[in-house]
């Protein structure tokens, strides 16, 4: 079986609260290998490239937001001044670009067997109020879609974690150059995977 790569970004809300070490430790403790690590202010070009600029992505994000509005009995035209899913998706992306540049972020490339499933499990639901206790988002954030929409901002959910093998490869290549990555065998791998 081949090892997978994934990108983890400790977002501004977690960096500003001094949670970088605690969050990083959780991924290392489970046995994932950090193969790239940097602390920097994200430039807008990279953040724009990180989130797709396709109508498919905008519509997906917008529909998710519209579904939440419907479930809560909120009129999207009052909050977003539109009920067009693509327009709402574009608005959310602009919030994300601003959010990622509020402070430096800690960017990690990690590697391991079943890496994507492991980081998703440790990270928890992307909506913090729905994340289980013991997960990063469940333990370190309690933001909700309602609060975010009311304040016209994205969810503050502490981390970004790649959600597919393909996204992991693409995101690591976007945020890291090949000479910034160092693949190696951890001592515990020799015990776990002889």
Domain containing residue 153: CATH number: 3.30.70.141
Please check whether residues 58 and 94 belong to one and the same domain: yes
> Which residues make beta-bridge pairs with 110?
6, 34
Q: Is 142 a catalytic residue?
A: no
pTM given for the model: 0.92
Q: Which domain holds residue 118?
A: 1-41+104-194
Final residue of a domain: which of 59, 74, 102? Answer: 102
Residue 90 and residue 71 share a domain: yes
Are 138 and 158 in a shared domain?
yes
Rg for the chain, CA atoms, rounded: 17
**Residue pLDDT, tens place only, 79-137:** 899 999 999 999 999 999 999 999 999 999 999 999 999 999 999 999 999 999 999 99
The pLDDT value given to residue 69: 87
Q: Are residues 96 and 113 in the same domain?
A: no
Q: How far is CA 108 from the centre of its chain?
A: 11
Domain count within the chain: 2
Catalytic residue among 15, 50, 160, 162: 160
Q: Quick: pLDDT tens for 50-69.
A: 998 999 999 999 998 899 88
By percentage, how much of the chain surpasses pLDDT 90?
82
What's the confidence (pLDDT) of residue 12? 97
**7-21, 43-57, 105-119, 141-155: range with lowest mean pLDDT:** 141-155
The reply to whether 186 and 153 lie within a common domain is yes
């Amino acid at each position: 079986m081949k090892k997978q790569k994934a990108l983890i970004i400790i977002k501004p809300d977690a960096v500003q609260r001094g949670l970088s070490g605690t969050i990083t430790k959780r991924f290392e403790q489970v046995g994932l290998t950090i193969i790239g690590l940097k602390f920097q202010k994200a430039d807008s070009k990279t953040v724009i490239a990180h989130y797709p600029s396709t109508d498919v992505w905008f519509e997906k994000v917008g529909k998710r937001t519209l579904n939440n509005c419907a479930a809560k009995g909120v009129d999207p035209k009052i909050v977003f001044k539109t009920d067009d899913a693509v327009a709402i998706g574009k608005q959310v992306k602009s919030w994300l670009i601003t959010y990622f540049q509020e402070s430096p972020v800690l960017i990690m490339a990690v590697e391991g067997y079943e890496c994507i499933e492991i980081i998703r499990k440790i990270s928890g639901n992307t909506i913090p109020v729905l994340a289980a206790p013991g997960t990063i988002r469940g333990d370190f954030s309690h933001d909700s879609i309602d609060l975010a929409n009311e304040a016209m901002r994205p969810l503050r959910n502490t981390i970004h974690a790649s959600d597919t093998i393909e996204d992991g490869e693409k995101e690591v290549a976007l945020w890291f150059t090949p000479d910034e990555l160092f693949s190696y065998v951890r001592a515990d791998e020799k015990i776990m995977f002889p």
